[in-house]
Chain A
Amino acid sequence: MLILETIRISLASIRSNLFRALLTMLGIIIGVAAVITMVALGTGAQRAIDEQMAALGGDILSIQSSSWFSHGIARNQATITTDDAMALATGSEHLSAVVPEITSRFQVKYGNKNLNLTTVGTTPNYPAVHGFEIAYGVKSSAADEAARRRVVVLGAEIPGMFDADAAALIGRTVQIRAISFQVIGVFAPKGGSGWRNPDTYIWIPLSTAQFRVTGNEYVSTISAKVADTSTVSMAMLEIERVLRREHGILPGKDNDFAIMNRKQFAESRQQATEVFTYLLAGIAGVSLVVGGIGIMNIMLVTVTERTREIGVRKALGATKGNILLQFLVESTILCVLGGLLGLALGAGAAALLAKYAGWQTVVTTQSAMIAFGCSAAIGLIFGIWPARRAAQLDPIDALRHE
């Protein structure tokens, strides 16, 4: 009952000085908006990585040539071959699939369009291991591989880049490095993982790539699928053992290859993003505290300005508690209103960033609730001192105050 009256009195007092109330709220508005936007950015980045991780699959290991040092000079030399892939496929217990990949960029021509595209030469089990689905036509087969056929499967965005209809492209011919290839299929969209977008890649049989396009037996990457995700580290040890034997590396010498667990890589990026999110939210939180101090400052001014009113109210029977409540409610209302406006501003900023900067942003109810709760708490905490000062005023002094 009295609390309703108190809220009414506070709203009336805020309304009577609306411009100042808005300026007072500005700190909270900016603080909350900053927290919401920063957390939205962080959450968005994290979600992007999550999606990426789901796309990666935790059971895929990448084996690549590593740079090594010869007489103090870093050499970046291809060391991984198709033979290594064969050895891994036959000689390991923990791997269920081994996919060698030769990745390079080539000029690809269709009609009068000439594009520079990432071309992946690989084996027929590539789509299954990396989770690609065929949308039109067919995947390349073991027969294509065996016969080194000049066939190509396109990423989902390639037909658009050639201004052609995906279905109509099947059976047509494209020129890769001036060699004619027949389009046999188009993959369904897979989505980008970070800066790479596999939807803009094209795929040809490994043997074709080796013997007709690149002309050597080195591969860029071998992807290995671990049979059981609980044995990833065992699988990594096994790969190391097999490859050291293949490469004839003596004990004590360094590997000339590197095994990467892409999920581990993504996880470390995820942790980094999380830390970054907390950091940003923390900095934004500081502005929220500064906003709270602004509220306190204005409330102190308000108490001084309204000393006489406080005296009158006390003479008319207001207890200390009544006065305390009135000023606390007022500062809390200021903060809550500021919090709501800040929430709208922050959500708007996040939406704008998503639209124009292309950053993924996610405003969660959780972050909204936290920011809102924080602003209410700030109103209470930073309102206590001014409200106590008001409540402690001696009614006689307050009535005499000019």
Chain B
Amino acid sequence: MGAEFIDALRCVDLDVRTNEYLAIMGQSGSGKSTLMNIIGCLERPTAGEYWLNDERVSDMSDRALAHVRNQAIGFVFQTFNLLPRMTALANVEVPLIYSGMKRRERMEQSQLALETVGLGDRMQHRPSELSGGQRQRVAIARALVTEPSILLADEPTGNLDSSTGREIMGLFERLHADGNTLIVVTHEQSIADHANRVVRLSDGDIVSDTEQ
């Protein structure tokens, strides 16, 4: 008895440069979630190395990984994952709390991030009082607020209707133009079309890596 170990990823060799807009595509079971979790420092590869900003994060301690997630990664989830009892502003402040920033500075920076995503007038609203698109914008503001090295989005439009999805993709393009590095994990071609580079995964291997 016990867990069966499956090699979710095999020989993945991936180089992501600053200010790249990368889409990772693949069917479910292709290993894209595992790759995303490794890039997002939520789990460590069982073998191989992962370097981020000249640091080998693949063998860091849990504590150090938490710090890397806090400083260098901005997560955007399919289901937004906002904390329901807190206002938009308080949600955006969460990562800054863990980085130990002072309250006043934290508020200013969070307000700025919400303004960047076009929600300057919704700061005191709770997630339940916001539309799906607005919730995803709050989540993007939360991901941006620490000025991370990578903005990592997992099916960011999966829970949105197509017009709201286009809005969000437009926001991503603007963020890319502002100099951010974006990695979007998706199985939709229309979403991947926004990226400059598309990596396709199948059965744990990269089957294509194309710039467009």
From A1, A309, A311, A319, contact of B67 by CB (8 A): A319
Interface size on B, residues (CB 8 A): 26
From A1, A316, A321, contact of B69 by CB (8 A): A316
New contact pairs (12) apart from A317-B70, A396-B42, CB-CB < 8 Å: A13-B85, A314-B66, A316-B95, A316-B98, A316-B142, A317-B67, A317-B146, A318-B98, A319-B67, A320-B62, A396-B37, A399-B77
- A302–chain B nearest beta-carbon distance, Å: 13
CB-contacts of A163-183 with B (<8 A): none
From A2, A316, A319, contact of B75 by CB (8 A): A316
Nearest chain-B residue to A5 (Cβ)? B97
From A16, A312, A320, A396, contact of B43 by CB (8 A): A396
A396 to B40 CA separation, bound complex (whole angstroms):
10
* Residue B86 lies at the interface, judged by CB distance under 8 Å to chain A: yes
Q: Chain B residues near A12 (CB, 8 Å)?
A: 85-86
CB-contacts of B72-115 with A (<8 A): 75, 77, 81, 83, 85-86, 94-95, 97-100, 102
A322 to B99 CA separation, bound complex (whole angstroms):
11
CB-contacts of A298-346 with B (<8 A): 308-309, 311-322
CB pair A317–B98 under 8 Å, yes or no, is: yes
* Residue A395 lies at the interface, judged by CB distance under 8 Å to chain B: yes
* Residue B56 lies at the interface, judged by CB distance under 8 Å to chain A: no
Which of B's residues lie within 8 Å of A, judged by CB? Answer: 37, 40, 42-43, 62-63, 66-67, 69-71, 75, 77, 81, 83, 85-86, 94-95, 97-100, 102, 142, 146
- A214–chain B nearest beta-carbon distance, Å: 84
CB-contacts of A1-30 with B (<8 A): 1-2, 5, 12-13, 16
A312 to B85 CA separation, bound complex (whole angstroms):
14
- A324–chain B nearest beta-carbon distance, Å: 12
Q: Chain B residues near A321 (CB, 8 Å)?
A: 63
Q: Chain B residues near A13 (CB, 8 Å)?
A: 85
Given A16-B85, A319-B62, A399-B81, check contact A1 B37 (CB 8 Å). Answer: no
CB pair A316–B42 under 8 Å, yes or no, is: no
Nearest chain-B residue to A309 (Cβ)? B83
| Interface-centre pick from A316, A321, A396, A399 (highest chain B CB count, 10 A) | A316
CB pair A313–B94 under 8 Å, yes or no, is: yes
Q: Chain B residues near A318 (CB, 8 Å)?
A: 66, 70, 98
Given A2-B97, A317-B95, A317-B99, check contact A312 B63 (CB 8 Å). Answer: no
Q: Chain A residues near B95 (CB, 8 Å)?
A: 316-317
Interface flags for A131-174 (1: CB within 8 Å of B; 0: not) read 00000000000000000000000000000000000000000000
13 pairs of residues in contact across A and B, judged by CB atoms under 8 Å: A1-B102, A308-B81, A312-B81, A312-B83, A314-B66, A314-B69, A316-B69, A316-B70, A316-B75, A316-B94, A318-B66, A319-B62, A320-B62
A181 to B15 CA separation, bound complex (whole angstroms):
118
Q: Chain A residues near B69 (CB, 8 Å)?
A: 314-317
A320 to B64 CA separation, bound complex (whole angstroms):
11
A315 to B79 CA separation, bound complex (whole angstroms):
14
CB pair A395–B70 under 8 Å, yes or no, is: no
From A1, A308, A309, contact of B100 by CB (8 A): A1
- A188–chain B nearest beta-carbon distance, Å: 66
Q: Chain B residues near A1 (CB, 8 Å)?
A: 100, 102
Q: Chain A residues near B98 (CB, 8 Å)?
A: 313, 316-319, 322
A44 to B95 CA separation, bound complex (whole angstroms):
54
From A308, A309, A315, contact of B42 by CB (8 A): A315
CB pair A319–B63 under 8 Å, yes or no, is: yes
CB pair B63–A315 under 8 Å, yes or no, is: no
Given A313-B94, A395-B42, check contact A319 B66 (CB 8 Å). Answer: yes
A2 to B99 CA separation, bound complex (whole angstroms):
9
